[in-house]
Amino acid sequence: MTVINKVNVEEQAIQAKKAAKTLSLLTTEEKNAALLTLADELDTEYETILTANKADLEKGRKKGYDAAYMDRLTLSKERVEEFAQGLRDVAKLEVPTGIVDSDWTLDNGLNVQKVTVPLGVIGMIYEARPNVTVDATGLALKSGNAIVLKGGSSAITSNKQIVEVMHRGLEKTKIPKEAVQFIDSTDREATQQLFTMKQHIDVLIPRGGGSLIQAVVNNATVPVLETGVGNCHIYIDAEADVEKALAILVNAKTDRPAVCNAVETAIIHKDWLETNKDALIQIFNENNISVHGDQAAVQVIPGAVLAGEDDWANEYLSTDIAVKTVNHLDDAIDHIDTYGTKHSEAIITENVQTAETFMKLVDAAALYHNASTRFTDGGALGFGAEIGISTQKLHARGPMGLPALTTIKYMMNGNGQIR
């Protein structure tokens, strides 16, 4: 038992809740001005952040983190400038609250308005990347929410300093600095306290690996916005155009293999495979794509290894691909039902009827006809900012922009109406 990092998580959450009230009374101009001030403060104080970051990097080297991990952890003047620019970009977006979704008057004269309002307090639980500290704060404040930040232990010194700089910035604005709470603890218990603090925290957003997200989903009684894994499929139908199919497959697999909207399994109609196997093999070779195939695929594709259950179920996040062959659309849909994660699923076909059936029957956030799964992305779709990609069905599905951080209130104005 160490008490060095003992923090009063509940007291911090209560302070955030209070600050959220103040925030809800501010104008859009006041919130935007605050974001610009935070950006300036980050630019001015970047050296203190880099100094703090050195401590985390030193610790990381001692722990023997791999190069990719160290890269995500490493800050520079340019990266801090990017954080600041991110806040300036968010300041330019339309504010998602105070929007009258509907407005009607009952026969008795009672006016009813359904209006978007902030959720209140957002609990952000995340892993290594220090950019989440700034990004999440910017999106929360823009949408009128207070935020409680609980980052991973490997970046704690950097994150703490970033929040200190943002707090100094907030002191020059109308937003109380208590609207941004940093849980300065590496205790697992501190995270678990957030799971059940329904009285003070309105939503938890986990950002990180699958095990972090599942721990939050399975243990939290506070509502969760689940951003999950993407085990995405492309189904190449018997009537698929060969050029479109190959270009889309290569793009979805190799453009950025480590992201959640990359394709992991190609489901290929046997007739199409029979006709186009040479071209397919060629693009696999040209793009160094390693194939894990079912029995029929392995027989046709040189160098392919036989796929097992893991190949169908897991994300490779590399240039490996699983290849499943089918005789019918229904078999493709069954496979996706069994192994998909309801993220992004594509069909390549020139038959519009087949495409419509696929898109109706497959249960996912994004369905594609003759396009790459890579477009499931807030930036690509023009949302301006993305909190994450929801793989849940309630509240928000697919890429989440600022509106996902709001709820609604019914505002009733009367002059004595009774029932």
Nearer to its own copies by Cβ, of 60 and 120: the residue is: 120
Residue 326 near residue 268 (C-beta atoms within 8 A)? yes
**Of positions 197, 367, 385, 400, contacts its own copies by CB under 8 A:** 367
- Residue 309 as a binder of its own copies (CB under 8 A): the answer is no
Residues that bind its own copies (rule: CB under 8 A) add up to a total of 65
- Residue 347 as a binder of its own copies (CB under 8 A): the answer is no
- Tell me how far the alpha carbon of residue 285 is from its chain's centroid: 32
**Of positions 74, 281, 381, 403, contacts its own copies by CB under 8 A:** 381
Question: In the complex, what is the shortest distance from the CB of residue 239 to its own copies, in angstroms, rounded to a whole number?
Answer: 14
Count of alpha carbons within 13 Å of 284, Cβ hemisphere only? Answer: 21
- Residue 167 as a binder of its own copies (CB under 8 A): the answer is no
Q: Over the range 20-31, which residues count as b (16 or more CB within 10 Å of their CB) and which as e? A: beebeebeeeeb
Stretch 236-275 residues interacting with its own copies (CB under 8 A): 241, 243-244, 247-248, 250-252, 255
Nearer to its own copies by Cβ, of 219 and 290: the residue is: 219
Question: In the complex, what is the shortest distance from the CB of residue 25 to its own copies, in angstroms, rounded to a whole number?
Answer: 6
- Residue 305 as a binder of its own copies (CB under 8 A): the answer is no
Residue 400 near residue 382 (C-beta atoms within 8 A)? no
**Of positions 28, 181, 218, 384, contacts its own copies by CB under 8 A:** 218
- Helices marked H in 171-224 — which ranges? 188-195, 210-219
DSSP state of 391: -
Stretch 168-207 residues interacting with its own copies (CB under 8 A): 202-203
Residue 415 near residue 109 (C-beta atoms within 8 A)? yes
Tell me the window of 69-77, 172-180, 291-299, 358-366 that interacts with its own copies (CB under 8 A): 358-366
Contacts of 339 (CB under 8 A, 6+ apart): 231, 233, 265, 312, 313
**Of positions 290, 299, 327, 407, contacts its own copies by CB under 8 A:** 407
CA distance 21 to 16: 9
Angle at the Cα of 403 from the Cα atoms of 402 and 404, rounded to 5 degrees: 90
Nearer to its own copies by Cβ, of 45 and 377: the residue is: 377
Question: In the complex, what is the shortest distance from the CB of residue 285 to its own copies, in angstroms, rounded to a whole number?
Answer: 19
Nearer to its own copies by Cβ, of 189 and 243: the residue is: 243
Q: Over the range 280-312, which residues count as b (16 or more CB within 10 Å of their CB) and which as e? A: bbebbeeeebebbbbebbbebbeebeebeeebb
Nearer to its own copies by Cβ, of 25 and 68: the residue is: 25
**Of positions 365, 385, 400, 402, contacts its own copies by CB under 8 A:** 365
Structure tokens at 105: 């008057």
- Tell me how far the alpha carbon of residue 413 is from its chain's centroid: 38
Nearer to its own copies by Cβ, of 52 and 366: the residue is: 366
Tell me the window of 29-37, 217-225, 293-301, 317-325 that interacts with its own copies (CB under 8 A): 217-225
**Of positions 7, 36, 217, 296, contacts its own copies by CB under 8 A:** 217
Structure tokens at 288: 């160094």
Residue 101 near residue 114 (C-beta atoms within 8 A)? yes
Nearer to its own copies by Cβ, of 83 and 284: the residue is: 284
Q: Write the DSSP string, 318-349.
A: SSEEEEEEESSHHHHHHHHHHH--SSEEEEE-
CA distance 268 to 324: 6
Contacts of 1 (CB under 8 A, 6+ apart): none
**Of positions 7, 36, 99, 110, contacts its own copies by CB under 8 A:** 110
Question: In the complex, what is the shortest distance from the CB of residue 344 to its own copies, in angstroms, rounded to a whole number?
Answer: 9
**Of positions 42, 84, 329, 366, contacts its own copies by CB under 8 A:** 366
**Of positions 7, 33, 317, 408, contacts its own copies by CB under 8 A:** 408
Which residues of this chain interact with its own copies, rule CB under 8 A?
21, 24-25, 104, 106, 110, 112, 119-120, 202-203, 217-218, 221, 223, 225, 241, 243-244, 247-248, 250-252, 255, 355, 357, 359-361, 363-372, 374-376, 380-382, 392-395, 397-398, 407-419
